[in-house]
Structures are given as C-alpha cells and as structure tokens.
Amino acid sequence: MSRRDRHPHRGAGRHRAASSRRPPSGQVFKRYGAWVLKRRWAIVGAWLTVLAGLVVMPPLGSGGSELASIIPLDSPAIRAELRSLEEFGYPLSSRTAVVQRDSHGLDVFVQAESALDALAVNQMPEPPYPLLGAIPLTNTVRLMGPRSETNTAVLTYLFMNPTSSFASQESAAQHYISTHLDRPADHVIGVAGSIPARAEQAELVKAYLPRLELFTVLAILILVGFTFRSVVAPLIALAASGVAFIVTIRLSASLGGLVGIAAPAELEPLLVALLLGVVTDYTIFYVTALQGRISRMGPRDAVREAIAADTPIVAAAGITVAGGTAALLAAESAFFRGFGPAMALAVLVGLLVAVSLVPAILAILGPRVFWPRDPHRSPSRTSDQVDPARLERSARRRMIHLLASRKGAALVVLGSVGLLLLASSAVRTIDLGVGFAICLTSRDCST
C-alpha cells in the first residue's frame, strides 16, 4: 500500500490549506464593507473637504471657457482662426453679423452711414474689446437673377477676438447697434451668426436647466420615497447626486484648462440627468440590500453585508457604462466624439460617490434610512387585514412566473419593442443642423 493510500486525506488537507491562503473575492468586499463601516465619518468628511475645495478654489489651468464646445479646439478651422490672430493681429473670418433690412428699400444715406460707422470702428486705435473691426456689405448691386432684391439690406460683419467668450462677443455686437444704429430709420433686424446663436443657446440652457433639475428631483423624491416608504432614502440619493454633479463640473473645468477635455456647454443638461439617474440607481441597490437584511440581523452587520453584496454589482455596472460612453471617442463624427470624455468622467465620479459616500451615509444612519417606517417592526393588523408584505411577495412571484413563461416573455418583448419603435418614430423627421438665420426676416423671432 502506498503512502497516499495510507493517508488519503493528507493531500486534500494540503489543498484546503493552500486554498485558504487565497481569500475568495467575496472576502475582499466583506473587508471593504467592514472598512467603510469603521471609517464612515472619515469618508463623509473627506468628500465634504473635496467638495469645499473644488468650490472655493479656482479651476486649474486656464479654466473652463465658453470656447469649449462640441467642436474640438484643435480642429483645422479653429487653429486657422487662432493662427490668423497671432500672425496678423486680426481674424480673417467673422462669426457675427449685424443685419439691417427694409423690404421697401433702405435709404441710400442710411447705407452710406452704416459704411461710415464701420469705417470709424476700423480707424479706432483700440476698438472696444473684443471688437477688432467691421466690414459692411450692401445689396446695392443685383448679383443673382432678375428677382433678387437691391438696396434693401446691409450686413455689417463684426470681427471679434476669437479668444473672447461668446457672451462678450454678443454684448459687443449689441453695443455696436446701440452706439451706431439706434435710429428707427436704420431698420436693424438683429444679430446673426454662429457666435450669437451659441450665446442664445447658453441662455436657453440657463433658463430651462432649473426646470429639468426640479422635475428630476421631484421624480426621485416620489418614486424612491414611495418604493421604500421613506423620507430619508430619496434624500440620500439626491445628496449623493448633488455631490457627484458639483465634483464633475469642477473637475471638467480644471481638466479642460490642463488637457483640453472640458465638458461642452450643450452637455450640462445631459450630465444632470445622467448623474441623477446613475447615482440614484446605485443608491437604490444599496438601500434594497440593506432593507432585506436589517430585519433579521443587527444594523451594523446588515450594513456591512449590504455593502459586501452590492459593491461588486455597482462597480461592474459603473465601469461598463463608463467604458461605453468613453467608446464614443472612436466615433468618426466630431459631434459624437465630444460627448465621450465628459460623460465618462461623470459616470466615474458618480460611481466613486456611490461606492464610498452612499455606503458611509447608510452606515451612519442605519435603520433611520427608512424613517418614518421602522424596518424591524411589522405593522399591527387585525385578523381580517391582509399583510402588505405577503401581498408584495405574492405579486413578485406572479411577475417572475409570467416572465419565465414563453408567452409572457414574448408579450414583454413585443411590448418593449413597440414602445421603442414609438419613441424613435420622430427620428425620421429630425434634421441634423441648426439654421442660424432662419428668423432674420421676422422681427418677432429671436436669434
């Protein structure tokens, strides 16, 4: 008989000893849960310190500017414009035009005065910043076909310092109008061009962003509060989302000044919705895990187990979403490439907040997360009353049984596809592009 036959359990013992020295992945997250539980106040304090530092300190580098847009700053057009300013001290293209038009004909003296006004600006030793010069063009000469208008319009192209902000260029154009073209006989229609359009777009974002934030916050308060029958749970999600949003905006401004990946102004509403959705979703994961454990174990053990159980799920989900948004950098269109860095940064910041700040808050509050409901105590009821928890479990079992059957799954798939097709039906009529001069002939239209 061999030694192995005489001692059949010796090799198995060595295998178990070797495997015991390699902690399974679950042990890592259990240790992380214990660490968060122990350092909960320090984690909250660290996030508050980071938040205060980012708010008080100015952005690193040159800071975020309105030049950050979905058009990359290293595009050939932008490089040529900046180089012309460096070489000649004057841009060779204009993105802003003052429009004068009268369908019945502009007086020849009005046209001459508009030309003299532009000439006066060009002869100034130092025109008001950021204005550098002006060139007027009239339709005195018929250029296209027998029906083209003559002596009805003057376009004064204003040349601005391309490093100035959109708002300052729009303000300079309005100042030009109020200084030189303030009479009714001048028939000023307004200011046209890509820069005024971007300035107006920024104003629209500022005007409607609070509404978007308000409706999203109300939806979170109602849905999360109703789901957990709690006042505190939705407030945790909103607080974590607010921290993630402020950190993302400030970091994107600093990174924009250092390495040029600032978030475009057009993305701010999208970032608000994205962060509120991502952080709220991950908060619901943790609160749900805590709810299922706190009724059968102590608060500290329930928090530790909830963190250990859901942190790998949240981390995998966040990394997947961040990788998917970062993949937009490989898109051929510059329009879609502009979305990648800011969205990936937002998801990563939201993930970091969700796996650290949210568990720390849960560890501090414990059962108070479900206030005013007591998760340890079932509500008293008479013999003829129905247990709500039992009804919920029964409804959940029926839903699982429906989805597990072929007919039920087919109905769900068909309904989902139908809703997606209905939601995407408007894509057929969407025009990609912006008509900056669409309202120039109407005094009632904004820029």
Amino acid 59: pLDDT? 61
Nearest Cα to 136, choosing from 182, 174, 177, 99? 99
Question: Helix, strand, or coil here: 426?
Answer: helix
Amino acid 74: pLDDT? 58
Q: Is there a single domain that holds both residue 346 and residue 247?
A: yes
Q: Identify the burial level of 234 via C-beta atoms within 10 angstroms of its C-beta, where 0-12 means exposed, 13-18 middle and 19 or more buried.
A: buried
Query: Residue 188: which H helix or E strand, with range?
Result: strand 188-192
Assess if residue 437 is contained within a domain.
no
355: tokens are 């796996």
Q: Is there a single domain that holds both residue 83 and residue 100?
A: no
Q: Is there a single domain that holds both residue 172 and residue 285?
A: no
Q: Is there a single domain that holds both residue 257 and residue 342?
A: yes
Query: Residue 158: which H helix or E strand, with range?
Result: strand 153-160
Question: Helix, strand, or coil here: 200?
Answer: helix
Asked which of 320, 345, 374 is the last residue of a domain, the reply is 374
Q: Is there a single domain that holds both residue 268 and residue 239?
A: yes
Q: Identify the burial level of 364 via C-beta atoms within 10 angstroms of its C-beta, where 0-12 means exposed, 13-18 middle and 19 or more buried.
A: middle
The stretches of 62-107 forming alpha helices (DSSP H) are: 76-88
Q: Tally the C-alpha atoms within 13 A of residue 390's C-alpha that lie toward its C-beta.
A: 6
Assess if residue 446 is contained within a domain.
no
Q: Is there a single domain that holds both residue 53 and residue 170?
A: no
Nearest Cα to 446, choosing from 111, 191, 132, 160? 191
Q: Is 181 in contact with 117 (CB distance < 8 Å)?
A: yes
Q: Is there a single domain that holds both residue 333 and residue 223?
A: yes
Q: Which residues contact residue 131 at a Cβ distance below 8 angstroms, ignoring those fewer than 6 apart?
A: 121, 158, 159, 160, 172, 175, 176
Asked which of 374, 405, 427 is the last residue of a domain, the reply is 374
Assess if residue 39 is contained within a domain.
yes
Domain containing 172 — which CATH number?
Answer: 3.30.70
89: tokens are 């001290």
Q: Is there a single domain that holds both residue 280 and residue 159?
A: no
- Give the number of domains in the chain: 2
Backbone angles phi, psi at 68, to 5 degrees: -70, 120
Assess if residue 441 is contained within a domain.
no
381: tokens are 């009821």
Amino acid 388: pLDDT? 54
Q: Identify the burial level of 125 via C-beta atoms within 10 angstroms of its C-beta, where 0-12 means exposed, 13-18 middle and 19 or more buried.
A: exposed
Domain that holds residue 250: 27-89+209-374
Assess if residue 129 is contained within a domain.
yes
- Peptide bond before 76: cis, by omega within 30 degrees of 0? no
Nearest Cα to 176, choosing from 184, 188, 164? 188
Q: Identify the burial level of 124 via C-beta atoms within 10 angstroms of its C-beta, where 0-12 means exposed, 13-18 middle and 19 or more buried.
A: exposed
Assess if residue 409 is contained within a domain.
no
Q: Is there a single domain that holds both residue 174 and residue 276?
A: no
Using alpha carbons only, give the angle 428, 215, 66 rounded to the nearest 5 degrees: 70
Question: What does each of the 447 residues of the chain score in pLDDT, given as a tens digit?
Answer: 555 455 555 544 544 444 444 455 578 888 998 999 999 999 999 999 998 888 887 665 544 444 445 555 556 766 777 777 777 777 778 889 999 999 888 888 999 999 999 999 999 888 888 898 999 998 887 665 556 678 889 999 999 987 788 888 889 999 999 999 988 899 999 998 888 888 887 787 778 878 888 888 898 889 898 888 899 999 999 999 989 988 888 887 776 655 555 555 667 777 888 888 899 999 999 999 998 888 888 888 899 999 999 999 999 999 999 888 888 877 776 666 767 777 888 899 999 999 999 999 999 998 899 888 877 665 444 444 555 556 556 776 787 787 788 888 888 899 999 998 988 887 777 665 544 444 444 444 443
100: which DSSP letter? E
Amino acid at 176: Y
Q: Is 131 in contact with 114 (CB distance < 8 Å)?
A: no
Q: Which residues contact residue 81 at a Cβ distance below 8 angstroms, ignoring those fewer than 6 apart?
A: 91, 92, 93, 162
Query: Residue 33: which H helix or E strand, with range?
Result: helix 25-38
State the Cα–Cα distance between residues 446 and 423, nearest whole angstrom. Answer: 30
Asked which of 352, 374, 396 is the last residue of a domain, the reply is 374
Q: Is there a single domain that holds both residue 226 and residue 78?
A: yes
Domain containing 247 — which CATH number?
Answer: 1.20.1640.10
Q: Tally the C-alpha atoms within 13 A of residue 87's C-alpha that lie toward its C-beta.
A: 8
What is the crossing angle of helices 25-38 and 40-56, to 10°?
70
Q: Is there a single domain that holds both residue 64 and residue 170?
A: no
Amino acid 287: pLDDT? 92
Assess if residue 85 is contained within a domain.
yes
Q: Is there a single domain that holds both residue 100 and residue 241?
A: no
Q: Output Rg (C-alpha) for the chain, integer angstroms.
A: 31
Assess if residue 383 is contained within a domain.
no
State the Cα–Cα distance between residues 202 and 198, nearest whole angstrom. Answer: 6
